[in-house]
Amino acid sequence: MTLYRTTFELSGSYLPTQDLTRSDGRDLGDLRVWAGRLGACQALLVRPELGPCFFVEYARFTGRGNNLDPTLDVDGGLWSLLLAARLAVPFGLFAYLLELGIDLPVTVAEFTVQENQLIHETGTVVGRLRTGFELRF
């Protein structure tokens, strides 16, 4: 939705199950992610649209380790703030997007699928590059 060159966005993503393996090929488990974001962008230039964006994001990570120990399962959420510059080239009901941003996690999440073995830890600042097509209405 656009109001006075301000675009409001609500979006979601699902990253299907990814198998986690060690460098020697041994299975560690699996991980999947659900994510959503809410925010706004202000177009300082009209065609192409260029301007700053601000989003609040939530990601839910779930997964299972390679054995039946429930303490190794992953189930956690991560809140973050995203500041970005967006270039959008509209055509009809669509727009091509290029977004460059800085993600600032409000919480830090750690994921393990084996005892005492850290698989992933979110950073305190994360660079983002996003591109794609958007349906506008």
What would the pLDDT profile of 49-89 be if each residue is shown by its tens digit? 899 999 999 888 777 666 545 555 666 778 889 999 999 89
Domain ranges of the chain: 2-135
Averaged pLDDT for residues 9-25: 75
Q: Which residue has the tokens 């991560």?
A: 78
pLDDT tens digits along 80-132: 899 999 998 988 889 898 999 998 888 766 655 555 555 556 667 778 888 98
